[in-house]
Chain A
Amino acid sequence: MRADTDTIDEFVASDYKYGFVTDIESESIKPGLGEETVRFISAKKNEPEWLLEWRLKALRCWEKLECPTWPHVDYPPVDFQDISYYSAPKKKGDGPKSLDEVDPKLLETYEKLGVPLHERARLAGVAVDAVFDSESIGTTFKEDLAKAGVIFCSISEAVQEYPELVKKHLGTVVPYTDNFYATLNSAVFSDGSFVYIPKGTRCPMELSTYFRINAANTGQFERTLIIAEEGSHVSYLEGCTAPMRDENQLHAAVVELIALDNAEIKYSTVQNWYPGDEQGRGGIYNFVTKRGLCKTSAKISWTQVETGSAITWKYPSVILKGDNSTGEFYSVALTNNMQQADTGTKMVHLGKNTRSTIVSKGISAGRGQNSYRGLVQVGKKATNARNFSQCDSLLIGDQCGAHTFPYIEAKNPSANIEHEATTSKIGEDQIFYCNQRGLETQDAVNMIVNGFCKEVFRELPMEFAMEAQKLLDVSLEGSVG
């Protein structure tokens, strides 16, 4: 047992390598939230009247809501008046027209993070929208995508260029009344990505957004909207990091996906916000609402690898409204040190012959608390709905926790719902077995964890799968079950 404790201590000491701060002049507003904050953000972005109205409605609604307490996480109450709701790198003049005009310091930051923003990154074959604090700083491959008819830009730009598309779809999947944090986001969202895939189009490359929080005392409230027209296909990746700071920072994003008839959206996340130190000081509060709507025969697939954040509170969901539609959720969530995660999914079956698959893998180490919370709901008219859920937990060390809170509600007799959950730990016998085959203990742990997560990693695009695997290896450095 002594050896176990020692190695766990080591594990706790492993580093967060994205914790640097970029020294760049930025423009932030004073902390505080009120009508003038919302008007300021809206004016800053030169938004049309309807969007300002929508934000204000959200703000009035938010003022009446109470902060939810039901998640299985524990943190001091957030002072929403102590957060700056807008921060952006200071622009020179009118702002950059293309990436070449972007402040080299910003580009350097993304270079350091390993995000290829330059066109020379063509080889990587991924189009990137980089969001720095509240502002999108640039999107790559715009021209190439435009040839295919795909719109990929920041949501602020979309509001200016394609107002009718934004107006038609914004808030249709996650209304501004949805929940405390989604409502807050609706009032003060600053930027995010917008994707539109025209009818029958297969997006020629992977789309990706890279979120970076840099400024202190700010919250990041991005909003992403993806619309896949009939018969189209898109794969979208999302990555996130933040500097190491002693105070907690709030990140409350909203993601809306709309998959029209026969469309397919694949949304992958590798979330690596700063998790806080071993005492639980600092780190990001990641309170995110993600939801997709499937029309007839459409498919939405969420894949997430959650290794960062002090607190994660996130339930990527799918509303299976159209007949024969499919929803999938694959998740790996790792909590270490004092990290807490309450994550899972909702699959709402409304159409006939709808199918959903849930595979959730939770890994708890140190004093981390990891919860799966999910809902599978089968409506009265959802004949022949099928669901399979599997939530497995892996415990490393004896001070962590793994919890499952599944809700299953069926109103149709032809529904077929299965839920399975197991909890296990990395056994000494497993390690011993690997040791005698000549594997170092650390490699053995990595191998077992990777094996445990294989079903989820398989769903990630290849580059991301490699990154996710590396990320887990780094996070698990020095740990032995």
Chain B
Amino acid sequence: MSQVDTANPAVEPVEAFTKLEQNGAALMPLRKAGLARFSESGYSTLRDEDWRFTNVKPIAELPFRPTIDPLGQGIGQDQLGNVTFGQLDADRLVFVDGHFNADLSQIGDQPSGVTVTHLVSGLAGLEREAGSLSGGDDNPFVALNDAFFTDGALIRIADNQCLTKPVHLLFVTTAGKDGEAAHIRNWIIAGANSQGTIIESHLSLGQAATVTNVVTETRIGDGANLEHVKFQDQSAKAFHLASLHSELGRDARYAFHSIALGARLSRNNLRMRLAKPGIECVLNGLYMMRGQQLADHHMIVEHAAPHCDSHEYFNGILDDQSRGVFHGRILVQPGAQKTDAKQTNKNLLLSDDATANTKPQLEIYADDVKCTHGATIGEMDDDSIFYLRTRGLDPSTARRMLLHGFAGEIVERIRHDAVREELDALVWGRLEAVHKFD
């Protein structure tokens, strides 16, 4: 593993720690342990099995500049008016370079028992929860996040409560210097039988090679029903690293949608633990890459209790020299009988230079289970185009239909109407603007 670039320490860890201590002294043990873990491991390399296809060397080579303080230039409401989900009727928490911005945020009336705030303000008494779900992970970026996270969202829904409006978490980077890194930590705690929709979007206003490193821990209670939409559309120079750690209660429903359109390199680690019976977990993702972009989804779904269902659907559209990486691992522990796990990854290669790497894995230690996986890589199917042409469609319309259908398959799984419609229009527009159909 490579070492941190100590030759160019734009920010000294010690200095950073002094400032971070003001956010809560109780978090210092977590931060110190994180830093120690990271100093031990360094950045991952291609020799690590989990990072075989995703080279983080460009990140390791950037100067180390965690945005411990808010960056000087503030942004105004006008700059956020037109962003995706900017007009959505939702409670909005806005974070600029990893720092909460109260002026841009708006929180309406949520029922009593619902807390929607930023982490630093709602921290008291919860410090011990930090890292309780992500702690066992050996991902070096989780260790870095433990050490340097500045803020993030805190959403708590009490038992039997609903979010009356979706909560929109908007993370914006404004950084103008290469290597400026926002470390964000989100906590979502949904009580028993609670419900809600959470939208998480990541955008860049600057054009520098910035790093966003977000760790989200979600604890979902018995019978809770949560939908989580993650939309990542950062600049083509940005690096995006995310790690989601979820623990689900009995009969809980959790749907996570990942729409990855931006960033030079994006990596989503999804770690789902299904340790109570009756859980239904859906992981649904679409990545549309072009230029030199790379999108990597890496998930481990652990079935540790019987009668749980998990479904993973990931579609990728890869153009130019872009790359799509998918690693799905379904782990069925002994005793997790009647598991129903399904996993599909489909990749559409639109250019001679695009690459897809896929690794759908099953690891099964119980006998009464239904587990299937499937993966395909290929260009648009000639037979399907021919079929449409026999129906009188011209070639470009046929191709357009297939491509929209391929992307739409994923988008239409989003249950929240307004969110789905906005994303559908956005994906449609993006495909029309970028791809030549003739």
Contact = CB atoms under 8 A, between A and B. Distances in A.
Contacts of B337: 398
Highest count of chain B CB atoms <10 Å: which of A399, A411, A418, A422: A411
Contact of A401 (B352, B361, B363): B363
A410 B359 contact: no
Contacts of B378: 410, 413-417
Contacts of A409: 53, 355-358
Interface residues of B, number: 36
A401 B334 CA distance: 9
Contacts of A415: 349, 377-378
Contact of A419 (B352, B355, B360, B366): B360
Contacts of B371: 421-423
Interface in A376-428: 378, 380, 393, 395-425
A65 B378 CA distance: 37
* Interface residue SS majority, chain A: strand
Nearest to A420: B374
Contacts of B351: 413
Interface string A328-369: 000000000000000000000000000000000000000000
B145 to A, nearest CB: 28
Contact of A420 (B355, B365, B372): B372
Contacts of B361: 403-406
Nearest to B343: A421
A75 interface: no
B174 to A, nearest CB: 37
A70 interface: yes
Interface in A154-195: none
B352 A413 contact: yes
Interface in B324-367: 334, 337, 347, 349-367
B203 to A, nearest CB: 30
A94 B204 CA distance: 81
A398 B368 contact: yes
B349 A410 contact: yes
Contact of B365 (A401, A410, A412, A416): A401
Nearest to A386: B378
* Interface residue SS majority, chain B: strand
Given A397-B367, A409-B357, A423 B362 contact: yes
A419 B359 contact: no
A408 B357 contact: yes
Contacts of A421: 360, 362, 371-374
B363 A419 contact: no
A410 B351 CA distance: 12
Interface residues of A, number: 37
A421 B341 CA distance: 12
Highest count of chain B CB atoms <10 Å: which of A380, A408, A422: A408
B376 to A, nearest CB: 6
B140 to A, nearest CB: 20
A164 B49 CA distance: 41
A316 to B, nearest CB: 20
Contacts of B354: 413
A395 B364 contact: yes
Contact of B375 (A405, A408, A424): A408
A453 B147 CA distance: 53
B355 A411 contact: yes
A417 B334 contact: no
Contact of B377 (A380, A405, A408, A425): A408
A1 to B, nearest CB: 11
Contacts of B372: 420-423
B366 A398 contact: yes
Contacts of A402: 362, 364
B403 to A, nearest CB: 14
B56 interface: no
A66 to B, nearest CB: 12
Highest count of chain A CB atoms <10 Å: which of B334, B364, B369: B364
B370 interface: yes
Contacts of A380: 352-353
Nearest to B361: A405
B379 interface: yes
B376 A417 contact: yes
Contacts of A405: 359, 361
Highest count of chain B CB atoms <10 Å: which of A409, A413, A414, A415: A413
A406 B359 contact: yes
Nearest to A72: B363
Contacts of B350: 413
B324 to A, nearest CB: 10
Nearest to A404: B362
Nearest to B324: A410
A415 B377 CA distance: 7
Contacts of A398: 334, 337, 366-368
A395 B352 contact: no
Contacts of B370: 423-424
Given A408-B357, A408-B359, A413-B349, A423 B376 contact: no
A378 B375 CA distance: 14
Nearest to B350: A413
Interface in A421-450: 421-425
Contact of A425 (B334, B368, B373): B368
Interface in B46-85: 49, 53
Contacts of A72: 363
Contacts of A404: 360-363, 373
Nearest to B326: A408
A398 B347 CA distance: 35
Given A402-B364, A417-B378, 10 more contacts: A378-B377, A380-B352, A400-B365, A408-B359, A411-B355, A413-B378, A417-B376, A419-B373, A423-B364, A423-B372
29 contacts: A70-B49, A378-B377, A393-B362, A393-B364, A395-B364, A402-B362, A402-B364, A403-B362, A404-B360, A407-B357, A408-B359, A409-B53, A409-B357, A409-B358, A410-B347, A410-B378, A412-B352, A413-B351, A415-B349, A417-B376, A417-B377, A418-B374, A419-B360, A421-B371, A421-B372, A421-B374, A422-B372, A423-B369, A425-B367
Interface of A: 70, 72, 378, 380, 393, 395-425, 481
Interface of B: 49, 53, 334, 337, 347, 349-379
In order of increasing CB-CB distance, the 8 nearest A-B pairs are: A413-B349, A395-B367, A410-B377, A401-B365, A404-B362, A413-B379, A403-B363, A423-B371
